[in-house]
Structures are given as structure tokens and as C-alpha cells.
Structure 1
Amino acid sequence: MNEIIGPLYYVFASDPNKEWQEHAEADTFFCFTNLMSEIRDNFIKMLDDSASGIGSSMQNVLTLLKKHDQQLWRCLEDRGVRPQFYLFRWLTLLLSQEFKMPDVIRVWDSLFADRRRFDFLYCVCCAMIMLKEFEDCLEAEKVDTKLLRSLCFQGIPDGRGLRAKCWKILLNYLPPLTTDWTDFLKKQRALYQQLLEELIITPGKQGSGTSREDVTFADHPLNPNPDSQWSQYFKDNDVLLQIDKDVRRLCPDISFFQQATDHPCERLVNADSGIETLRKRVEHTILKAANVGKNRLGITVTNSTRRKVAVEEYETLPEGQEAHWEVVERVLFLYAKLNPGQGYVQGMNEIIGPLYYVFASDPNKEWQEHAEADTFFCFTNLMSEIRDNFIKMLDDSASGIGSSMQNVLTLLKKHDQQLWRCLEDRGVRPQFYLFRWLTLLLSQEFKMPDVIRVWDSLFADRRRFDFLYCVCCAMIICIRSRILEGDFSDTMRTLQNYPDGDVIAVLFIYFKLLLFTWCLFTCTTTQSKTSMLSCLFTL
């Protein structure tokens, strides 16, 4: 009971109102008495198995866990992890020994405010079990990838750096053996520094100053030979300009990418290094325009004009600082250099943005410091799976974007033929909306937190693109009333500017589609299938 009364007395005795603070002892006594009247059965052993006892409370938590994560519940059951080993203390002491005092007080704020406070307590305990399972899974000598996928599919908890670790495993960057992580990351990050040195820093040294050693009689800027180093330099500049234009508008709904990174590339931001950075290269590549005219005395004058910058574009930071969007620009430029067959395609910036955001926000400072390198390798792995979407000549192949769009429409026709027919009759082609949804993995359809939540499940699913097709289908069904009631222009406007809403509602429809597919194998008559479908979509 001392663990129960402690936080109560601490809050009352810390009251800035001196009169109330003076009577903290009396107030604590009465509040503690009232609270104990609600939880006293937890402290009476003979009532443990009654409806109001601790046994019933523990069972309520396990019932919740079974409902929301049956695999995790089954795992605990098979291992013989009895609730008395941990839930007894959690519930009896209202979590007062599981967190530090400020966190206990925060939990109790919500606990005391909730009319059904013990339902709230059961939910918190259930969430704690799921979080603990995350941590245990990631701290094991070998990560159980099957269990990890199951946990991640339902959403990864924010904080503690769990998401950054999970994504790196799910994207096949980190190996399953946690004992290998230190050496592996050290090797990969050193490799990235080597790529940075060879493709940006060393060429940047050649490009600085007034005298250039790479300008020779045989190879010079006007050399028409396609194998000329200068020809490649100019092609790289064209790619860099496109990347620069795109990353300056990355995720405008948050200010993160405009802010300075705490871990810039020191060799590039140092003004005394004499290296032509990508920032300087962009500035030198853009042609300066000038207006030529004569003044009143007849003297010819030129007035230079600067390139117009769109309002939504991010500005460069002062010398010595580097914004997050500049780090993303560098990663994309390296990727384009190392993948000349594909190069950079507009939209890749939207794929890399959430990856870098998660890694650069990692509370682990060491991992945060190397977010750039980790983003590069995870982005490369992800692109190896979706690269065909960015190659136009493969659009109509079995692995191209055309086939993916058709898969979504096939799903829609299967689950909601009326809605599919409506889109067909109005001539709403999938290229108008599904092309962007699928190519950019929905990164432009939702706000960043919702994109991250969808990607938790996307990366966790072994058949991740089947999951993506189902989510896209669910998105269309979520706005079916708008589509059916509107005309062509209304439909286009809604699909191309997907309404703001709760992404959980979309995922709920997704799970109903899965349930419907499963039920099709168990329903034997057309009437039962029809009634079942009607029931599902009125949930």
C-alpha cells in the first residue's frame, strides 16, 4: 500500500498553494481511503478468484491481449508465462513500480480521469506487454523475424528507437544476429564514407579554385566525345539540379527538413576545405541572367537577375550549417551515380523522406549520427524491390506499374463491383491516381505520422505489395459515397487529393477485406456470401 500512497502524498505535498500544502497529510489520508475503497479487493487473498479480485483483473488483460495480438498471447501461453509473475504487481500497485515518479503521475492523470478507470488500466497493461515483447525480441541474441513481423504489422510504438531498428531489419539491412550489429554497422558506414569520398569529395577538390588539372587539350568542357569526363560532369549536373529542385519541397507539412542537422558532413560544410559542395555546384550550374540596356548617358549597363525561388522551396542555411534536405540530396545523388541504368527519377525524394526522418530522429545518438549512411543502404534495398515502378519501359510488364494498378482494380471489382463499375463508366483511369499511390507507396496521400504507420505494416508484411494493393483498394472504398454521389470532376478531385482522415479507418477496411476473403472459403451459398458482405460493410 505504501507504493499506492506515495505518489498521492508527493503531489499534495508539492502543491504551490501553501495552505493546501500545509494540509497535505489530511488530504492524502482521505484520497487514499477513497482510492483503496475501489481497489481493496486486490489486497484480499481470499477474493483473488472472485469477480472483483485480482485474478479476474489479470484475466481481463489477457483477454484483451488475445483479442489484439493472438500470436503474442499464444507465445506467452506456450512458454508458461503465468500472469501472476508480472500482472499481479502491475495491477495491484497501479503500475507505481514500473515507471519513474513523473511517468507514474502522468499515467495516474488518465487513470483517475477515466470513468471506467480499470478498463483503462487493463489497456495500458496490454500495451506494456506488447511493448515489452518488442524490446525482448530486439534484445535477443537472434531476432525472431517471424515474431517481429507480427508485432510490427500492428504498428511500432513511438519512442525508444524501436521503429528505426525494426525498419532496418525488415528492409534486410541489419542481420538477424544482434551480436553482429556493431561490426556490420561499422563496416557499412565506413563503406558509405568511402563512396562519399570517391563520388563527391574528391571530384569536389578538382572542381574548386581557378586552375583545374582536369582541363587538358584532349579533354575539355567543349569536348563532344560522350566518354569525356566533362560530358559526364554536365550530365551529373542535370541530375543534381532535378534532385535539388525536388528535395527543396520535401514534406512541406513538417519543418524537420528545413532545420539544421546536428551531424553535418564536416568536410563539406567547412568553408576552408576548398571542396566544391553540391550546394556550390548547384549555384554554379544555374545560369545567371542579365538585362542589357543603356542608361540616360548612353552607356551600356547590365543588371544581373537572380533565379526566382518558389515560395514553398527551402532556402539554404548559412555557411557551416547543413539542413536535413541537403543530406537527403546527397544520398539521392550518390544513389543516382551508383545506379546509372536507372538514375534519379522524380518521386524518389518522397520515398527516401520518411526513411531519413525516422533514422535521423532516433533517440540513440550514435545511430542518429549515422542516419545518412543507414538511410542510403535501406533506401537502396527498398528501391531494389520497387525500381520497376520507376522504369517507363517496364510499365506494361508483369512487374511494372501497369500490372500493379490492374491488381488494385481487380481487388476493387472483387470486393465492390458497383464502385468499380462507377469508375469504369466515368472513364476514371488508374493512371490518374493509382500511379502516384503505388509508385510513392502512399507517401503523398497522408501526413507523415500516418505514412509511417502504414509503412510499419507495409515493411512487416512478407507479401508487402499485396498489402499495398489491399490498402489502395480500401482507400477507394473508404470514399465510396463521395465517388458514387459525385460526377467525373468530383471523383478526380477526391482521388487526386485524398481527404484528410484517420489512416486507422483505412486499415480497418483493409482488415475487413481480409476477413471477407477468408469467409468466401467458408460460405457455401451465394445468399450467405451476399449477406456476409453486406454485414461487413456496415460494421
Structure 2
Amino acid sequence: MFNSTSGNNKKRVPDWLNSSLWSSSPPPPPASPSPKSSPNDVVADRGVKSTPVTSAKSSVQEAEESKYEPPAPAPPKVAVTAPPAVVVRAEAPKVEAQDPLGSQGRYYSSKEDGARSNVDAVADTASEASAAVKVSSPVSAARPASSAAEDISRQAQLLQELSRKVINMGELRRLASQGIPDGAGIRATVWKLLLGYLPCDRSLWSSELAKKRSQYEHFKEELLMNPSEITRRLEKSSLKNDELDGEDKGFLSRSEITHDEHPLSLGKTSIWNQFFQDTEVIEQIDRDVNRTHPDMNFFSGDSSFAKSNQDSLRNILIVFAKLNPGIRYVQGMNEILAPLFYIFRSDPNEENAVSAEADTFFCFVELLSGFRDHFCQQLDNSVVGIRSTITRLSLLLKEHDEELWRHLEMTTKVNPQFYAFRWITLLLTQEFNFADSLFIWDTLLSDPEGLQETLLRICCAMLIIIRRRLLAGDFTANLKLLQHYPPTNISHLLYVANKLRTHPAG
């Protein structure tokens, strides 16, 4: 696809980058957001994150380079009525060039360390659907009228699909890949279907949910109980048995503490020894949960609601760590867990919202199953490890934009591990604001090619759409730019990522 231009080694711009779709005029700016805010304080607008690129074309070379990157949509004028939930870093952060796979800390976060079952009720009237889209979420509160109209139409189509006796997953994926409108609890139900938590047959939803939720409660009783309570129950059970055996003997029995039940036991089967071994992991979970989205009242603050949500995150991560001793807990898992729990806990169906912790646990397990090897340090250098995945991203960039690839990796020596490690392991949750992350996850979860393939295309698109800034930068400038990705129009980003699939190089 890339042909050499006369006089230099630059690759010709692919034809699809010059298409009318790519260079179409930006959408009209959205209206001012409604003063009515969300109870969860998630203030974000995909349009707000647009960054226009304007530069004078003074030479043929500049005109040629400009073809790679179309003009981004102009930023809309949004009247800010409340402090945004996602705080934008105002100061230039320090560039860190250490290997994220090294001994200084394997996983890090950019913050500190490094179904709805009764969809028929929602679909009663079109007016209810329209109102839900307009006022239920700040994501849609400040969007263009045309975009809001598209959301209403897509919501009606999704509701129609969810009301079928047997869900057509192909059609559901197609609709969800375009972005799931906020409101009416649609995203919660769709994500549960896309992650395989809910079966396609709606008649099985009730029994399946009851079974899974009961199973999770059993996990909690078994894995979250303090050893003192376990010992007390064992002693109580032993006393009852002794009383029955000694009714005719005329003496009182004395409870005995076995070796494995003693707090100082070092035995492998000792509940106390296991408890002390888990303490370090639990302390790390507590630290990470406490700093999960500190700018959102849903996760942070002194309210009982926020504390309850933190407790749920903590329970899920502890249960997961104990059920998966080969992985246990790895720093950053809390960032992947947060979007799932937020969506399920915000379901307007009260029964589903109350059971959000159980539903989130099983969906979290299913989500991690697709790339759990990235969290296993022993597999870093294997074909399924994180290094191999980062190499695939590098090759994908080379395939579609060899000039940019050569500048980053050969000229400026920017190791992709320095930025792509976090992008991939945390599913882009730290590169964009919370609301935009949900929009990206709609595409990640719905793509039939799988989450990892879609994620790599999006990461490659992230590089391509800022190629001019990268080509003009040196090592320090590029590393800072990639470790702190600039505000971007998400619809535009996903469009480019999709083009990388439909227009392969060659």
C-alpha cells in the first residue's frame, strides 16, 4: 500500500487516509450541557476532548505530511456549570523512562503508583427512552443534537434487540460497537451479554442470575471470614458433638485446638498461616481501592454510598486473588474493575443494582480471562506475555505507518514498553477520562475479533492521529506525549482504528 515517493524514502499516504470520510468537516459544536448533573458526578464530553490541529501549509512537504492526519473536529464551546469529575493535569509531568517490566514495579496506575432483566419495562414508550438519553448521564448532556438523535435511534434498536426471546448476538455486537447510549440501564445489560454472563435466551436470565449470585455469596462466606470466626465455629461444632457423646458420661468436655488452627502455626494448611500470607495482598488492595478515581464521588469521599462501593471493590479483588493463587492481585486490577462495577451499580433496576458486586465479580473474571497472561510476570517473555503483545503493536504500526515507526523506535529510541505497557494492561482506562473509557469499552467488548486485537488497533490509531507531533518531537517530548496522551475525539479515534482493519497495508 505504501509506495516510495520520488526523491526521498517517505511512504506515500494510503488512499483511505485521503478519503472524503476521513477529511469530512467536523460535526457542529454541541449545545451547552444541562445544569442537571449526574448523582455520580461523572462529567465528561467526548467532544470536549477534541484538539484541533491548525498549521500553515507553506511547502509541498508539509502538504504531503498533512495527509496522514486529518484536521480534528473543532472543540465545542461548553458552558461549565460544575467542576469536572475528571481532573486534567495542568502541570507538565515528569517523564519517566524506566522499564515498566523491571524491578521498580511491574504494574502501575497514572493516579498514584505508576443485566438489566426487565428491559420490556424500559421500552414501553419512545418518550421515556428519549428522556433517558437526554438527562440520565452527563456523557450525553452536552452532545450535538444530531448525535443525540442518533443515540435515541440506537437506543431504540438496542431495546428492541434486548426484548427478543433469544438475543441475536451478531446484531447486538454491531449496535454496541457504535457506542451504547447512556441511560435506561442498557449498557449494564449489554455488557453482561457481551461478556457471556447472561445467556442469549432471556428465559434463562432469572435462574442464571440467582445461581451466580448465590455462588458469589458462598465465595464470600468461605474466603472473607476471619480465622478467629472460623475457629470459633469449629469449636462450637466440636462442642455440640462432644455434648451429644458425653451425655451419659457425667463430665464436661474440653475443646482442643489442633495444630493447624493455632495462630502461630506455620503449616501449609493452617488457616492462620494463610491469613497472614494474604495480609500483604489485602493491604495492597486496600491502598489501591482507596485511590480509585478520587475525583468521583461514586468511588471516593466520606459518604456511606462511596464507602459501600469501596467495600465491594475490595471484596471482589480479595475473592479473586484467593481463587486465583497463580495470579493473585496485581496492581492496576482495580482500574479495570472500576468501570464494570460503576455500570452495574448504576443500573436503574434496583434488584440488579443491589447485586452489582456479584455480577461484577463474574464479569471481571471473564474479562481478565482474555489477557490474564499479561498479569503473570513469569510469562512476560513468552509468546502470550505482555512483551509479545507490545511487539505486535510495534509491528502493526510499522505495517500502517513505517515512517512514524522508524522515527519513534529507530531515530528517537522511544521503547514502546514505556507507554504501551500501561495502555494494554489497563485497557486504556488511564489515558482518557472515565466517560470516554466507557465508550471505548463498548467497542472493545463488542468486536467479534476479540478484545486484544481491537485494543491493539486502537493503540495503533492513537499513535497515527498524533503523528505530526511525534515526527516533530525528540525522545523527551515524545515520551512525555505518549505517557500523558492528549485530549482526543473518541469517535474519531475509533473511526481510525476501524480503518486499520478494513484497509490493511500491503
Category of TM-score, reference length = shorter chain: 0.5 to 0.7
> Which residue number corresponds to residue 257 of structure 1?
299
Shift of 1:514: 3.1
Shift of 1:230: 2.1
Separation (CA, whole Å) in 2 of partners of 1:334 and 1:494: 37
1:70-469 maps to which residues of 2 (within 5 A)? 98-99=126-127, 127-201=151-225, 203=227, 205-206=229-230, 219-258=261-300, 322-425=307-410, 426-463=412-449, 464-469=451-456
Shift of 1:219: 5.0
The 1:207–1:333 alpha-carbon spacing in structure 2 relative to 1, beyond 3 Å, is: farther
Shift of 1:513: 2.3
Secondary structure of the structure 2 residue equivalent to 1:174: coil
The 1:506–1:232 alpha-carbon spacing in structure 2 relative to 1, beyond 3 Å, is: same
Question: Which residue identity does 1:372 align to in structure 2?
Answer: E
Separation (CA, whole Å) in 2 of partners of 1:103 and 1:361: 17
Shift of 1:473: 0.3
Secondary structure of the structure 2 residue equivalent to 1:323: helix
The 1:466–1:384 alpha-carbon spacing in structure 2 relative to 1, beyond 3 Å, is: same
The 1:328–1:102 alpha-carbon spacing in structure 2 relative to 1, beyond 3 Å, is: closer
Separation (CA, whole Å) in 2 of partners of 1:102 and 1:233: 51
Shift of 1:403: 1.6
Shift of 1:502: 2.3
Shift of 1:484: 1.5
* 1:484 is the counterpart of 2:471: yes
Separation (CA, whole Å) in 2 of partners of 1:102 and 1:176: 26
Separation (CA, whole Å) in 2 of partners of 1:515 and 1:101: 33
8 A contact 1:259–1:323 mirrored in 2: no
Tell me which moved more, 228-237 or 361-370: 228-237
8 A contact 1:436–1:442 mirrored in 2: yes
Separation (CA, whole Å) in 2 of partners of 1:101 and 1:450: 22
Question: Which residue identity does 2:444 align to in structure 1?
Answer: L
Shift of 1:260: 7.2
Separation (CA, whole Å) in 2 of partners of 1:431 and 1:189: 39
Separation (CA, whole Å) in 2 of partners of 1:100 and 1:170: 25
The 1:422–1:214 alpha-carbon spacing in structure 2 relative to 1, beyond 3 Å, is: farther
Separation (CA, whole Å) in 2 of partners of 1:196 and 1:101: 37
8 A contact 1:171–1:382 mirrored in 2: yes
The 1:473–1:126 alpha-carbon spacing in structure 2 relative to 1, beyond 3 Å, is: closer
The 1:456–1:246 alpha-carbon spacing in structure 2 relative to 1, beyond 3 Å, is: same
Separation (CA, whole Å) in 2 of partners of 1:242 and 1:220: 26
> Which residue number corresponds to residue 535 of structure 1?
none
The 1:204–1:407 alpha-carbon spacing in structure 2 relative to 1, beyond 3 Å, is: farther
> Which residue number corresponds to residue 492 of structure 2?
505
8 A contact 2:260–2:271 mirrored in 1: no
Secondary structure of the structure 1 residue equivalent to 2:179: coil
Q: Of the two structures, which has the highest relative contact order with CA contacts closer than 8 Å and spacing of 6 or more? A: 2
8 A contact 1:215–1:221 mirrored in 2: no
The 1:505–1:214 alpha-carbon spacing in structure 2 relative to 1, beyond 3 Å, is: farther
Question: Which residue identity does 2:396 align to in structure 1?
Answer: L
Question: Which residue identity does 1:394 align to in structure 2?
Answer: L
Secondary structure of the structure 1 residue equivalent to 2:127: coil
Q: Deviations over 1:51-108 (max 9, x none)?
A: xxxxxxxxxxxxxxxxxxxxxxxxxxxxxxxxxxxxxxxxxxxxxx95279959x89x
Question: Which residue identity does 1:192 align to in structure 2?
Answer: Y
Question: Which residue identity does 1:434 align to in structure 2?
Answer: A
Q: Report the identity percentage.
A: 41
8 A contact 1:260–1:323 mirrored in 2: no
The 1:479–1:393 alpha-carbon spacing in structure 2 relative to 1, beyond 3 Å, is: same
> Which residue number corresponds to residue 72 of structure 1?
none
Shift of 1:202: 6.2
The 1:262–1:140 alpha-carbon spacing in structure 2 relative to 1, beyond 3 Å, is: farther
8 A contact 2:320–2:329 mirrored in 1: yes
Question: Which residue identity does 1:411 align to in structure 2?
Answer: L
8 A contact 2:129–2:156 mirrored in 1: no
8 A contact 2:292–2:300 mirrored in 1: no
> Which residue number corresponds to residue 110 of structure 1?
none
Aligned-CA RMSD value: 3.0
Secondary structure of the structure 2 residue equivalent to 1:255: coil
Separation (CA, whole Å) in 1 of partners of 2:189 and 2:457: 26
Separation (CA, whole Å) in 2 of partners of 1:101 and 1:196: 37
Shift of 1:255: 2.2
8 A contact 1:253–1:447 mirrored in 2: no
The 1:443–1:516 alpha-carbon spacing in structure 2 relative to 1, beyond 3 Å, is: same
Q: Deviations over 1:365-400 (max 9, x none)?
A: 110010000000000111111110101111122222
Q: TM-score, normalised by structure 2?
A: 0.64
Separation (CA, whole Å) in 2 of partners of 1:430 and 1:249: 27
8 A contact 1:206–1:214 mirrored in 2: no
Which one of 493, 506, 529 corresponds to residue 480 of structure 2? Answer: 493
The 1:237–1:151 alpha-carbon spacing in structure 2 relative to 1, beyond 3 Å, is: same
Uncovered stretches (5+) of structure 2, i.e. residues with no partner: 1-124, 136-143, 237-254
Question: Which residue identity does 1:505 align to in structure 2?
Answer: H
Separation (CA, whole Å) in 1 of partners of 2:207 and 2:129: 38
The 1:101–1:395 alpha-carbon spacing in structure 2 relative to 1, beyond 3 Å, is: closer
Secondary structure of the structure 2 residue equivalent to 1:341: coil
Secondary structure of the structure 2 residue equivalent to 1:337: helix
The 1:261–1:178 alpha-carbon spacing in structure 2 relative to 1, beyond 3 Å, is: farther
Shift of 1:477: 1.3
Q: TM-score, normalised by structure 1?
A: 0.61
8 A contact 1:332–1:344 mirrored in 2: yes
Separation (CA, whole Å) in 2 of partners of 1:99 and 1:166: 21
Larger radius of gyration: 1
